[in-house]
Structure 1
Amino acid sequence: MNRRNFLKAAGCFLAASGGRVFAGKSEKPNIVFILADDLGYGDVGFNGQSRIKTPNIDNIAKQGAVFTNHYSGSTVCGPSRCCLMTGKHTGHASVRGNPRWTSDGKPVDIRKEEPTVAEELKRAGYNTCAIGKWGLAENLSHAMPTKKGFDEFFGFMRHGPAHHYYPEKVWRNEHQVSLPNKTKEKEGLYVHDLFTQEAFKYISKQDKNNPFFLYLAYTIPHYELTVPEDSKEPYQKLGWKKRPMKQGHYYHDKEGHTTYAGMVSRMDRDIGSLMELLKKKGLDKNTLVIFTSDNGHHYDKGFFDSNGVYRGKKRDLYEGGIHIPFAARWPEMIRPGTKSSHISAFWDFLPTACDIAGIEPKAQTDGISYFQALKGNTRAQLSHNCLYWEFNERQGPVQAVRKDKWKAVRYKGKPIELYDLSKDPGENNDISAEYPEKAKQMVKLMESSRTKDPNFPFKKLR
C-alpha cells in the first residue's frame, strides 16, 4: 500500500471510530451529564457572572469546550427533560408541557416504546445510573427510570416533591424510602447533598473496564430557595441589597440573594469534588463531563444578571428562557479552551451519545450529533435546518424557531416576531416588517415542525 492509500485508509478508520484511538485500541468514554435546574445562561462565571462564584464549573469550561449557542428542550422542566432523554423536540415529543398542562389536565409520561439515551447506551455495553430529578414518571408506571434503561435510580420521580429540599421521601429504584426530614421546617438531610453522596458511591464502584453513563440531575437552584448556612456565609458580608422572600408553596429562606448564590456555589463545590473523584479513580481522562441547565432562570430580577444579554426567563421562548450555559470536558478528546458557536439543543444529546459510543440510534430523533463540534472540527460538523420549540401555559400557545442567525417567536393569534440574533441577541427589535419573506419562511417552518397530539392541542388550555 502506498503512502496516499495508507493515509486514506487510516482516515476512514478514524472517522468510523470517531477518532478515538488510545494505546492502539478504541475505548468508549464514560459520560457524566450534570443538569442544573432553572440556572440562567449568565449564572456561571464562564458566561460573565461576577457575584456568584463557580470556579469548578468554570474549570470544566476552561479545560474543555464551551458552546455559545446551546438550547434547552423547552422553557420548563418536564418537556425539556423529555427532549434530552428521547432526542425529540417539542413538536414531536411525547411530553410537551408540565404535568397539568394537557388537554384533560392529567399528566403524560414518555411512551413505553420510546427509547431513551440510557436504553441506547445499554446496547453499547454501558452501566447506567440516574440521580436527582427525573420528572418523567408522574403516573409511576412504565416511565420509571429503571424501566427506561437505567440500572439504578435515586431521587424524585415526580415534579411536585422535587420542589422541596427536605423531602420526607425519595425513590430508590422502584421503591420509596423515608428520610428523617421535616419538609416545612426544613430540618434533616438536605436532598442535594444526598444526590452528591449517591453520585460519589456510584462513581466509586466504577472501573476502567466498563463504561458508565451517569445522569446527575440536581434540583439547584429551582424554587424553593433554601440552603444550609455554611453555603451562605461567603456572601453575607458583601453589603448586598436584601431581597425578602415570602413563604407559600415554597418554604423559602428569609433572604433570597445570599440563598440563591449559596445554592449555586454549593452545587459548584460538589461538582468540583466529583471531578476530583474521577481523577482519583483514574477515570477523568476518558470521561466526557457535560454541564448545562434545563431552561432559563426563574429567580433573578436583575441583581445577578442571570440571563446575560438575553430577553426573558423561564416560561418564555425568548432567548432568556431557552438559551442555556453549556460546558464539556473530555481530556482525551476535547482541546482546552475550545469555543463553538455551533447551534445545538437538548435533542442532540441522544445522537451524540450514540455517536461517541459507536452505535446508530434506534430512536427516531430530531437531533444531530455534536461530537465534531466538541472536538473543534467545524468542517465535519453537520448543522440543523432549524430548531423548533412550542409551549402552552397561561400565556397561551407560543412557538419559536431558530434558523441560522434568524429567530422567530409567534403567539397564537398574533403576528410573528422576527429577530436577527447576530445583530440583536437581546431580541429587542422586531424586524418582521422589514423582511416579510423571511417571516413567511419562519411561519412555514413552525407549521411543518410539529405533529398533532391530542394531549397537547395547539389552543389555549386554561
Structure 2
Amino acid sequence: MAKAGALDSAPSVEASATAEIRRPNIIYILADDLGYGDLGAYGQRKIQTPGLDSLADEGVRFTQHYAGSSVCGPSRASLLTGLHSGHSPIRGNPVWTNSGKPVDLKPDDITIAEMLQENGYHTAAIGKWGMSESPEQDNLHLPSMPNQQGFDYFYGLKTHLDAHHYYWHRLFENNEPFELTGNDYKKNEGVYIHDLFTEKAIEYVEKQDGQQPFFLYLSYMIPHLAVTVPEDSKQQYLKLGWPERKMNTDGHYRNDPEGNTAYAGMVSRMDRDIARLMETLQKKGIDQNTLVIFTSDNGHEYDTGFFDSNGPLRGKKRDLYEGGIRVPFIAKWPAQITPGTESDHVSAFWDMMPTFCEFAEAESCPSNDGVSMRKALFGVQGQAQHSHLYWEFNEREGPIQAVRQGDWKLIKKYRKPLELYNLAEDVSEANNLATSKPELAEQLSQLADASRTYHPEFTLRKLPNPYKKKKVENNND
C-alpha cells in the first residue's frame, strides 16, 4: 500500500504498455567520499579512470552539481527523499543528534523508489544503505529497511559502521541477514564486499526481461576509509615512483600499509566494474533506453594533496566549502543526451526526485525541494533554476549552514563571522567578501535561517562529541 502522501495513482496497464517504450530504465551509481577531482574527466592525472571518462565522453558532465550534505547519512537521505538538509528527516550522521540516538527513515517518508514503484518500475538497492541505523529488535524488521522504503530487492550493508569494512562478515538480502563465514575484517581477508555488489548489479541487469522499466540504486563503498583493495588493483601503480604514505593498519579502519597505491587502486577498481556494468547493458540491448548517472555522496577524505582530489575547490568531507559538497555528476542516455557535452547548471541531489518523476511520467510527484534537470540533461533551452540551495551540518565544530543564491555563497559557522564568496570569480572561496558586502551577507544569513524547518533531533546547537571518551576513529560516517 502506498504511504500517505504518495502518488495518487499509477498509470493504467494499457497506458504503461506504451509508456514503457519511452520511459527509461534508471541506474544511479553513488561513490562514497569520492572527490570532485578524483576522475580523469574532472582533471585527475594520477588515478586511471577510463571507464568513467568514457561515460563522460558518451554523455554529459555537470560542473556545478552538489551532494545533499558533506557526510554520508544526510546526503543519502536528501537523495532518497528529494529534500535538502533543512527539511530532510535525516540531517546528520548516526548519534550526532540531540538525543544521541540515530534517526532513521520512517514509514511516512516518501522515497524516490516508492515513487518509481508506484509508477510501474521494478526497484533495487545494492550496496551501502545507512538509513536504518537503529538496533534490530527481536527479528522485527524495522520500517527503515529498503524493502519497506520502496525497493523490491535489496542486497548489501545495513549500517554505516558495517560499511567501514571491505571484508565485513554480515550482509542482508532483502530483510534477511546472512554471514560470509570466510570474511575477517580485522585481517582484511575473505571476499572483497565491493566485488559482491558489482556481481549482484550485473546479475540484476541480466535478469531484466524488458516487461517493465527498472531503477537500480548502486551504492558503492569505494573510496571511503578503510583504504584497502586486493593486490591486483594496485599493480598498475606500484612502479611509478610515488611517495609512500604509511597507514594505520590496526585501528578502527583496517587500512593497507601503504595508502597511495591502495587509494588509486580502489578508484580504478570501481571504474573497471562500472565499465563491466555498462557492457552488460549493451549485451542485453537495453543501453539505448537506460539513463545512467554517476556521482559521489560528498567530498573526499583521504587525500592530503598528492592526488589533488579537490581540483580547485576548498575543503573536503565535513566542510560546507565547495570541496565538501560539490561532486562529479555524469549522465548518459544514448537516445536522449548528446555525447561529450558539459553543463554548468547548478543542481543538487534533491533534484533527482522531480527529474525521475518527469521521466517516469508520474501523474503527481511527492513534495520536494528540487527542480527537474531534464532540460539541462538534454542540453535544451529553458532549464528552470533554483531560487537558492541550502545545506546544514553539525558535528564537532558546531552547526554550520550554507546557502547559495546565484553566484553568491554564504557560510555561517557557529559563533564565527559570516563568510561570503562569489563563486563565479572565486571558486576556491579564498576571498571573504562579508565585510565589504554586509547587507548581502545579512540577507543571505536570514535566507539560510528561513530555509530550514524545526526538527527535535537536529537543532542548531553545539552537540557533545559522542566519541570523545571512546577509542573509535571517525566511527560516525
TM-score (norm 1): 0.94
Q: Deviations over 1:235-289 (max 9, x none)?
A: 0000000000012000000000000000000000000000000000001011000
The offset of 1:452, in angstroms, is 1.0
Aligned length: 439
Q: 1:86 to 1:381 in 2, by over 3 A?
A: same
What's 1:445 paired with?
447
The offset of 1:361, in angstroms, is 4.5
Q: Is residue 2:26 matched to residue 1:31?
A: yes
In structure 1, the gaps of 5 or more residues are: 1-22
The offset of 1:152, in angstroms, is 0.4
What's 2:133 paired with?
138
What's 2:412 paired with?
410
AA paired with 1:215? Y
3-state SS in 2 of match to 1:440: helix
What's 2:270 paired with?
267
Q: 1:368 to 1:24 in 2, by over 3 A?
A: closer
Correspondence list, 1:35-434, <5 A: 35-139=30-134, 140=136, 141-179=142-180, 180-247=182-249, 248-377=251-380, 379-434=381-436
AA paired with 1:381? Q
The answer to whether the 8 Å contact 2:60/2:339 transfers is yes
In structure 2, the gaps of 5 or more residues are: 1-17, 137-141, 465-477
AA paired with 2:350? W
Q: Residues of 1 paired with 2:198 and 2:422: CA distance? A: 41
Q: 1:347 to 1:360 in 2, by over 3 A?
A: farther
The offset of 1:338, in angstroms, is 1.8
The answer to whether the 8 Å contact 1:115/1:362 transfers is no
Q: Residues of 2 paired with 1:357 and 1:153: CA distance? A: 21
The answer to whether the 8 Å contact 1:62/1:337 transfers is yes
Q: Deviations over 1:9-58 (max 9, x none)?
A: xxxxxxxxxxxxxx999511000000000000000000000000001111
Q: Deviations over 1:114-164 (max 9, x none)?
A: 110000001111000000001001125111000000000011111101100
AA paired with 1:294? D
Q: Deviations over 1:363-396 (max 9, x none)?
A: 210011101100001x321110000000000010
What's 2:461 paired with?
459
The offset of 1:437, in angstroms, is 1.9
3-state SS in 1 of match to 2:323: helix
The answer to whether the 8 Å contact 2:20/2:212 transfers is no
AA paired with 2:222? I
AA paired with 1:70? H
Q: Residues of 1 paired with 2:364 and 2:154: CA distance? A: 23
**Regions of 4+ moved over 4 Å:** 23-26
Query: RMSD in angstroms over aligned alpha carbons?
Result: 1.2
TM-score (norm 2): 0.91
3-state SS in 2 of match to 1:451: coil
Q: Residues of 1 paired with 2:366 and 2:360: CA distance? A: 15
Q: 1:184 to 1:351 in 2, by over 3 A?
A: same
The answer to whether the 8 Å contact 1:114/1:363 transfers is no
Q: Residues of 1 paired with 2:178 and 2:60: CA distance? A: 38
Most deviating of 417-426 and 405-414: 405-414
Q: Residues of 2 paired with 1:25 and 1:54: CA distance? A: 33
